[in-house]
Amino acid sequence: MDRVIIFDTTLRDGEQSPGCSMNHEEKLRMAAMLDELGVDVIEAGFPIASPGDFHSVQEIAKTVKNATIAGLCRAKKGDIQSAADALAPAKSRRIHTFLSTSPLHMKHKLNMEPGAVLEAIAESVAFARQFTDDVEWSAEDGSRTEDDFLCRAVETAIAAGANTINIPDTVGYALPEDYARRFRMLKERVPNIDKAILSVHCHNDLGLAVANSLAGLLAGARQVECTINGIGERAGNAAMEEIVMAIRTRNADLPFTTNIDTTKITKASQTLSAITGFTVQPNKAIVGANAFAHESGIHQDGMLKNAQTYEIMTPESVGLERSALVLGKHSGRHAFRKKLEDLGHTLGENALEDAFLRFKKLADEKKNISDDDLLRLVS
Ligand code: KIV
Ligand code: ZN
């Protein structure tokens, strides 16, 4: 009941963001990394989008050992057929089909009446079920869809054979409580809801993608769609590493389990950055260069006494060797002495004080103090 399925869409929604496209070999390398990380479902691409996407999904389907491979398609037979063909070699395959359900999207994007949308949902899901027992249906712009219509659309998709129902916050508009309410509402009102797993899929336009995803899980969803480093359309998708580490770190309040080997998180993040050239901001949670780094004297002193004073997770738990005590103008004597000892210099009190004063002067002038700078100071 409390196992959360991690559905990774780095290779699909992530790749859709400007500057993040990956070539065939890069996609295969990233898919292998995701499999090693332990994700349950890899959304490998949108097979109808281009021959290249089709080929990548097909090769990923052939080579990935453990994860289920998913392909995205619109509610069109051609899309679904193409996804089915690309996914055919997979040991375990999922067809993921979607259609917009919000009044805004139905009117301006689809130019379809609600009744026609319901028909298209039933037809597309039933068609997808001819190729696999594992069909996911997504209500695009679900977080801006009217409750009554969302219930009818979800009921229709499940009746046609969908076993995962995803309610995306496509435009990153939701707030945690409102997003959670939708899941509770669906569980209460949709008669066949027990035949499907509910899924969250949140974008980060208001910086709430992870908070909304966790709220959805607490309200009964058991699949979370996310990307490594939070890459994705516009401001990105919910970051997998943040969700997984929140669950691990706050397990009493988020009583779920995942299959992710968290010690591979740093490697996965760095692999993606190296492939896309998209670097991670230094203060990014979990995988930013500063996530386990400390410069201020007060924090460094606490860290040297007991790391739990300023760290809620161990660096080892995400695959880092150790925290970094970075020397800068805010650093204190304790960290300075420790760093010199690590560099092989144990100074007496007077020499240490003297070196520390020279270090502070240098740190006022220079942003980054290197090991060479320190060695020069004490030489
Ligand atoms: O954000 C979204 O609505 C999507 C769907 C296609 C699942 O990515
Ligand atoms: Zn999305």
Residue 231 Cα distances to 67, 152, 219, 278, angstroms: 20, 32, 25, 9
Give residue 64's Cα distance to chain centre. Answer: 19
Q: In which band, very low, low, confident or very high, does the pLDDT at 379 lie, cut at 50, 70 and 90?
A: confident
Residue 147, pLDDT > 90, answer yes
Residue 274, number of CB atoms within 10 A of its CB:
12
How many whole angstroms from 295 Cα to the centroid of ligand 2?
37
Note the residue count of the chain: 379
Across residues 301-309, what is the average pLDDT?
97
Residue 137, pLDDT > 90, answer yes
Tell me the pLDDT of the chain averaged across its residues. Answer: 97
Percent composition of the chain: helix, strand, coil (DSSP 3-state, to 5): 50, 15, 35
CA angle centred on 48, ends 47 and 54, rounded to 5° = 35
Residue 72 CA, closest ligand 1 atom number:
6
Dihedral pair phi/psi, residue 344, rounded to 5°: 95, 15
Query: What is the spatial distance between Cα 153 and Cα 182, in angstroms, rounded to a whole number?
Result: 13
Q: In which band, very low, low, confident or very high, does the pLDDT at 278 lie, cut at 50, 70 and 90?
A: very high
Residue 1, pLDDT > 70, answer no
Choice from 201, 204, 231 to test ligand 1 binding pocket (greatest atom count within 8 A of CB): 201
Q: Which helix (H) or strand (E) holds 262?
A: none
How many whole angstroms from 50 Cα to the centroid of ligand 2?
19
Residue 160 Cα distances to 222, 312, 363, angstroms: 21, 45, 66
Percent of the chain predicted with pLDDT > 70: 100
How many whole angstroms from 233 Cα to the centroid of ligand 2?
7
Residue 373, pLDDT > 80, answer yes
State pLDDT tens for residues 72-109. 999 999 999 999 999 999 999 999 999 999 999 999 99
pLDDT score at 367: 87
Annotation: CATH topology of 5-276: TIM Barrel (3.20.20)
Query: What is the spatial distance between Cα 333 and Cα 136, in angstroms, rounded to a whole number?
Result: 57
Choice from 9, 11, 12, 13 to test ligand 1 binding pocket (greatest atom count within 8 A of CB): 13
CA angle centred on 140, ends 79 and 93, rounded to 5° = 45
Across residues 353-366, what is the average pLDDT?
95
How many whole angstroms from 72 Cα to the centroid of ligand 2?
11
Residue 21, pLDDT > 80, answer yes
Residues of the chain within CATH 3.20.20.70 domain(s) are 5-276
CA angle centred on 30, ends 77 and 198, rounded to 5° = 50
Lookup: tokens for 238: 């919910």
Q: In which band, very low, low, confident or very high, does the pLDDT at 24 lie, cut at 50, 70 and 90?
A: very high
Residue 138 CA, closest ligand 1 atom number:
7
Lookup: tokens for 301: 């002193």
State pLDDT tens for residues 166-213. 999 999 999 999 999 999 999 999 999 999 999 999 999 999 999 999
Query: What is the spatial distance between Cα 141 and Cα 87, in angstroms, rounded to a whole number?
Result: 26
CB within 6 Å of ligand 1 — which residues?
13, 98, 138, 140, 166, 168, 170, 201, 203
Across residues 14-29, what is the average pLDDT?
94
Asked if residue 154 lies in contact with residue 190, where contact means CB atoms within 8 angstroms, the answer is yes
pTM (two decimals): 0.96
C-alpha radius of gyration, the chain, whole number = 24
Looking at the CA of 140, name the nearest ligand: 1
How many whole angstroms from 81 Cα to the centroid of ligand 1?
19
Residue 166 CA, closest ligand 1 atom number:
7
Choice from 11, 98, 99, 137 to test ligand 1 binding pocket (greatest atom count within 8 A of CB): 98
How many whole angstroms from 34 Cα to the centroid of ligand 2?
18
pLDDT score at 19: 87
Dihedral pair phi/psi, residue 152, rounded to 5°: -70, -40
